[in-house]
Chains A and B, each alone.
Chain A
Amino acid sequence: MSANARSATGIGARIPRRELRRLLSGHGRYIDDIKLPRMLHACFVRSPHPHAQLVSVDVAAAKRAPGVAAVFTAADINLRCEPFVGVALHRPGHRSAPQRLLAAERAVWQGQPVVIVVAESRAEAEDAAELVATEWQPLPAVSDQLRAIAPGAPVIHAELGDNVAFDFSLEKGEPAKAFAEADIIIEEEMRFERQMAMTLETRGLIADFNPGDGSLTVIHAHQSPFQMQEIFSRHLKIPEHKIRVTTPDIGGGFGMKLNTYSDEIATVVASMLLGRPVKFCVDRLESFVSDAQARDHRIKCRIALKNTGEITAMEMDDLSAVGAYGMPLRFNVAEGMMAITITGAPYRFENYKARTRSVYVNKNLIGMYRGVGMPLACIATELLTDLAAEKLGVDTVEFKRRNYWPKASLPCLTPGGQKLESVSFHECLEKLVRLMGYDALRKEQAELRKRGTYRGIGIATFCEQTAYGPPYYGPSGASISTQDGCTLRLEPSGSVRCITSLTDQGQGTLTSVAQIVADSVGVSSEQVSVTGGDSAISPYGGGAWASRGTAIGGEAALRAGTMLKQNILALASAITQTPADALTITDSQVINTRTGQAVISLADVGRIGYFRQDTLPRDFDVQLSVSTSFVASDKMYYMANGVQASYVEIDCETGFIKVLGQWAVDDCGRIINPLLVDEQVRGGIVQGIGGVLFEECIYSDDANLLNGTMADYLIPMSGEMPDIVLDHVETPEASTRLGAKGIGEGGLIGAMGSMWVAVNDALKPLGAKVRHQPFTPERILDALARARISCGQVKAASHKPSA
């Protein structure tokens, strides 16, 4: 697929992942599979109330229960840990109350941890937790953001005065004038319910504090071991060099396992207090009230156009409910900020006005989850432009062709502040139109409408900020490293060992790194082993999040590979008495480029380099291990982009939506492994479809979670998902040698946009529209009812089953 394939197993090769044989034979080692000597098991007593005064806690009976090692309350735990204040310093006015590990006098969301019980087995810990007696005085709770900012609303943190966490506005050009002079204005209000990442493996860790030397080892199912090392050091006052955080096999992350969780830190404190390893794995039911959640927005947006079809202005007003505290290190402003800054990005216009507000409510914290605010921007933009095209009487594809930023205008800065350099909107769109057979589908859609079958086509263009750099996180005050590093060692037998600061939760990043190392050294990727996710042994780095692993860690690997190759060639030159600049490495052989002949194998270079230094010239400096790091110090992000299409059918009698087809064309820069890229896109798409059609954390008005089981929180299963057809455009990132951008989130972003447009496209002839996600059958039927269309009558006239 890639035009850049250099070797059968190197960059561009469609090769399977190296971990899969192990993972598919039951030999994975996930956090709950691991046992340490003298290991104890923790579970938590959590607040049953969204907002309540804790009157008393009685742990006496629990402490006497069989197998119990300790029962700790806030009085035992909280003073051991510096409180978290999830405030972004680069966002003036952003504020949060300090968050402590366990609720002491008051709980502010249902599920907030109150007591940690540690026992010989998880079952015994759970039995003992049942014996903890808590007495609560419920307080008024608030769930909805509109209520939370209304006068007289219960204020969650009295010291803040009200519930507003953040209020930010931006304006570019003259939006008021543009709207006043517009020929066409389209205005919409949208609502996005809360979602969960729902990794199939829940969160977990084993904290192992060794009182003998004061060291802490944590095996942590987390996306960023370095982030956690820094947190454990700073908040628990352990010298950083005495902390080692390693990652086991991880059963999915999607950003959720990037956040900082009070129950996980409390587990570490318990290990410190007990001097024994303590395991804590979240069970599924508590994941519903303790995993960071996502979305929960109300958005008003509008677009202004001239009759000529030119977009003159856009506006966004975002109001989100971010839970009871600011998320430590990753903040709760990101969704709103991304939503307002990326809205409209693919389209040329000059005047823009936007506002985002984050509001505290008595719900679980909002944190990182795949896509963050980018799907909201994509949905708002593509819904508005699709409606605008319709109003203009222009086909939506033609509208996009005319209004995308022309290639000649790049690089440019969008009114929302997005820097567009190597984006490829037009190329992606033209490929997509061919891939999906757009014209034929439109014909089919029109034919079927005559027969009472309501199908919709939605096309969504998206920008995906990938691989944030230090200009983003640096000024935030959070100790988030946006660099990654790589250590390479030539083994005596001529193979290569790679230690990367990256982690892998299933993306296949470690395989991509092996491919990059293989090409940059001159070996096949089978000759490269890759270890990641260990804060003690690799260069410092960020890990896998924000679609950055291959882009940043891959670049570090390429540079390390180039360095190792030079060192090998210097040694080979000394051994063979050939000028180093006449040598290269191909397939584990050092080749004389002038003769084309192999002069020495890497196995011989390794053997001599490690065991026969006596045969080398005096003072020859043998260096067969190299380390390097890479950071894009001046880059806010690498901007990936793409276009997707959905084809859906609505059953007007039941409100069910069937997804008939999904197409995606993505540009993530240079593709290292097309197989892995395809599957990132497909997996993201299904999560995106799930978000639009099914996924919703349903809260009562007083903030009780009403659907906290997997039977009640619907996620996409295979039966209702379509086959997904893919293609790619490859526009390499110009600022790196590797040229890769990220691919982790585009699938989800584009699918959410195309699904919103497609469902509403299907509803158009019925005079209906749906603006409240997820699009449950109930909401579709409500939309149809609101449109006062009796679908039964329409269908009865000429009903035929759909194709």
Chain B
Amino acid sequence: MSDPVNDLLGEEEVAIEATLNGRPLKRRVKARQHLADFLRQELELTGTHLGCEHGICGACTVLIDGRTARGCLTLAAQISGKTVDTIEGLTESGKLAELQAEFIARNAAQCGFCSSGMLLTAYELVSSGKMVSRIDIREFISGNMCRCTGYHAIVDAVEAVIVGQGKT
């Protein structure tokens, strides 16, 4: 039953150099390891969650070169030469502070499992600087599944940040 080709593929390693949460990262990664597993298992950055590992739920969302990406559909090897930001880094830098405050005030999270991905997706929207409607917000975050809140409070929170930006 053993397949020598597949056995080899699993163990093959690739050298990567990237910027992770503002700091340089130089590692050898398993060729088959996806980015979310790499972050969680190798770097112990467990704030990025895995809900489905087939690209649907959005829990593993990270930013790659400033754009949202699925951590489960990206191989760790693919981040070489790129900038990756996770919930940990964006929290530490304060870039998510406004969104986090609005989410907390409205209880726009219950179990919290979707929240890292949801916040990063929302961050991509609010940092675009566009004034958008509630419908646009709903559309923009519709790739992130939340099973607890019913979305209404999340939309309220994102809207509050966008409206706040418009005033400043």
Binding site for B on A (CB under 8 A): 16-17, 19-21, 23-30, 32-33, 61, 121, 123, 127, 130-131, 133, 198-202, 249-252, 254, 283-285, 505-508, 675-676, 678-679, 682-687, 709-711, 715, 717-721, 723-724, 747
Contacts and interface: CB of A to CB of B under 8 A. Distances in A.
Closest 9 CB pairs of A and B: A26-B47, A23-B112, A251-B113, A506-B110, A506-B111, A682-B150, A719-B142, A26-B87, A686-B150
B163 interface: no
B86 A26 contact: yes
B126 to A, nearest CB: 15
B113 A26 contact: no
Contact of B112 (A198, A251, A715): A251
B112 A199 contact: no
A294 to B, nearest CB: 14
Contacts of A683: 110, 147-150
B139 to A, nearest CB: 5
Interface string B23-53: 0000000001100000011000111111111
A711 B109 contact: no
Contacts of A130: 1
Contact of B139 (A131, A200, A202, A719): A719
Contact of B151 (A252, A506, A675, A721): A721
Contact of B104 (A20, A26, A123): A20
B107 A20 contact: yes
Given A283-B53, A709-B56, 9 more contacts: A26-B87, A61-B1, A199-B147, A679-B110, A687-B147, A709-B52, A709-B54, A711-B54, A718-B138
Contacts of A252: 110-111, 113, 147-148
A721 B134 CA distance: 11
Given A198-B147, A200-B145, A724-B150, A26 B54 contact: no
A28 B145 contact: no
Do most interface residues of chain B lie in helix, strand or loop, or is the interface mixed? loop
B114 to A, nearest CB: 5
Given A26-B91, A283-B53, A718-B138, A507 B110 contact: yes
7 contacts: A61-B2, A202-B51, A676-B107, A709-B54, A717-B144, A717-B145, A718-B146
Given A284-B53, A682-B149, A30 B113 contact: yes
A711 B72 CA distance: 14
Contacts of B56: 709-711
Contact of A27 (B47, B52, B146): B47
B152 interface: yes
A28 B112 CA distance: 8
B153 interface: yes
A723 B134 contact: yes
Given A26-B116, A201-B113, A686-B151, A127 B100 contact: no
Contacts of A747: 150
Interface in B1-31: 1-2, 10
Contacts of B150: 679, 682-687, 721, 724, 747
B93 to A, nearest CB: 12
A423 to B, nearest CB: 25
Contacts of B83: none
B48 A26 contact: yes
A199 B48 CA distance: 16
A33 B36 CA distance: 12
**Which has the most chain B C-beta neighbours within 10 Å: A23, A32, A198, A715?**
A23
B103 interface: yes
A142 B94 CA distance: 56
B154 interface: yes
A200 B46 contact: no
Contacts of B57: 200, 284, 710
Contact of B146 (A23, A200, A505): A200
A26 B44 CA distance: 11
B162 interface: no
Contacts of A506: 109-112, 148
A505 B110 CA distance: 8
A718 B110 contact: no
Contacts of B141: 718
A21 B40 CA distance: 20
B142 A16 contact: no
Contact of A201 (B10, B49, B87, B109): B49
Contacts of B48: 26
Contacts of B96: 25
Contact of B45 (A26, A121, A676, A721): A26
Contact of B153 (A251, A285, A682): A682
Contacts of A200: 49, 51, 57, 59, 111, 113-114, 145-148
A248 B41 CA distance: 18
B100 A133 contact: no
Contacts of B137: 718
A23 B33 CA distance: 26
A679 B109 CA distance: 9
A192 B96 CA distance: 42
